[in-house]
Amino acid sequence: MANEDTTTLNIGALSKATGVPVETIRTWERRYGFPESQRNKAGHRIYGLTTIEELRLITSVIDQGYRPSQLKDCSQDELQDLLDRSTEAEEAEEEPPCVEEPCLEWLEYWVKAVRTLDRELLEGYFRSEFSRLSALQFLEERVAPFLEAVGERWARGDLSILHEHFGSECLHDFLVSAWRPLSDMARGERVVLGTFSGEHHCLGTHMVALVTAITGHKVVFLGANIPATDIALAAKQCEPKAVALSVSQFADPATTVMSLTKLRELVPEQTEILVGGAGASIAPKGVTILGSLSELYRYLDGPE
């Protein structure tokens, strides 16, 4: 309640402070009893300063879908409780459903394009996200979840092997078209890329190639299924900054360590050997394991 001997507001000032029209304030007071006012000696409504916060709270609760008539007997604590509960419910509705695999809208569109074998559409999605995100974000936030989702759906029979191959080939072609021009223009040191004998897939290596190229390094792409002796020969010939190898989850750990050990013996000491991928869990002395594309990016001293 407002008193004559305290700082007070007239109805116009209250309206300006809260954004509630004067006529609305009058109607609410007449019908529902809020906000409470007193009359000054001239007979005009006056309000205490605390009425500003009270009226703002009321309007916030009304914005959540409550009717003014529902609030006429509510205390300020009760009003705040209504607002808090409404906000929590709203946030819960906005949370994505909890599912076993990524269920983002963009991902569903990409997988649908794979299912329908629509190369033009899928590559359009690639181009759109590649232009919107940084190259590193595109790889980590789009490509990685996409490959995981396609692999999981193939494993449970939702997609066939032809769909998995189709999606991989589309992505392979896009990545090559993205990294090759950048590598051609690069003025930095060379980086040799490839996979060891027995590793017949090199999609991960193309992802590494894109990271290498965006940091200004030239890519020397050897491809898949390359013996350690040939990789060492390439390293001696072009004197690269590093040799970077991708190891899949299907690679035999013991065989991988043997190949890395042999490569380290054959490659000049000043040439760094980097290894990454799902199968890169252990490595001999002199070989660096990189746990992510971001780590590779930082190693190659890309721009901040």
Instruction: Flag whether pLDDT at 192 surpasses 90.
Output: yes
Q: Among positive and negative, which fits the CA dihedral 262, 263, 266, 269? A: negative
User: pLDDT at position 89, please?
Assistant: 59
- 288 or 95: whose pLDDT is higher? 288
Instruction: Give me the amino acid identity at 229.
Output: T
- 256 or 6: whose pLDDT is higher? 256
Band (pLDDT 50/70/90 cuts) for residue 94 is very low
Question: At 219, is the secondary structure helix, strand, or coil?
Answer: strand
> Mean pLDDT over residues 111-136, rounded?
93
Instruction: Flag whether pLDDT at 264 surpasses 90.
Output: yes
45-48 and 38-39 as β-strands: parallel, antiparallel, unpaired? antiparallel
pTM for this entry:
0.65
What would the DSSP string read from start to end of 245-274? EE--TTS-HHHHHHHHHHHHHHS-TTSEEE
Q: Phi first, then psi: what are they for 192, rounded to 5°?
A: -90, 130
Q: What percent of the chain has pLDDT over 90?
A: 52
Band (pLDDT 50/70/90 cuts) for residue 102 is very low
- Beta bridge partner(s), residue 194: 245
Helix locations, the chain, DSSP H: 11-18, 22-32, 50-63, 76-94, 105-115, 119-132, 135-137, 144-155, 161-185, 203-214, 228-238, 253-266, 293-299
Report DSSP state, residue 241.
Answer: S
The C-alpha angle with vertex 37 and arms to 34 and 39, in degrees rounded to 5, equals 150
User: pLDDT at position 147, please?
Assistant: 93
- 10 or 18: whose pLDDT is higher? 10
Q: What is the pLDDT of residues 19-67, one digit of tens each?
A: 888 888 888 888 888 888 888 888 888 888 888 888 888 888 887 777 7
Q: Write down all domains in the chain, each with its CATH number in brackets.
A: 8-94 (1.10.1660.10), 101-185 (1.10.1240.10), 186-304 (3.40.50.280)
Instruction: Flag whether pLDDT at 15 surpasses 50.
Output: yes
Instruction: Give me the amino acid identity at 139.
Output: L
Weakest-pLDDT range from 72-81, 157-166, 228-237: 72-81
- 142 or 39: whose pLDDT is higher? 142
Task: Return mean pLDDT, the chain.
Answer: 86
Distance (Å, rounded) from C-alpha 297 to C-alpha 211? 6
Q: Phi first, then psi: what are they for 20, rounded to 5°?
A: -90, 125
Q: Over the range 265-282, which residues count as b (16 or more CB within 10 Å of their CB) and which as e?
A: eebeeebbbbbbbebbee
User: pLDDT at position 200, please?
Assistant: 87
> Mean pLDDT over residues 69-91, rounded?
76
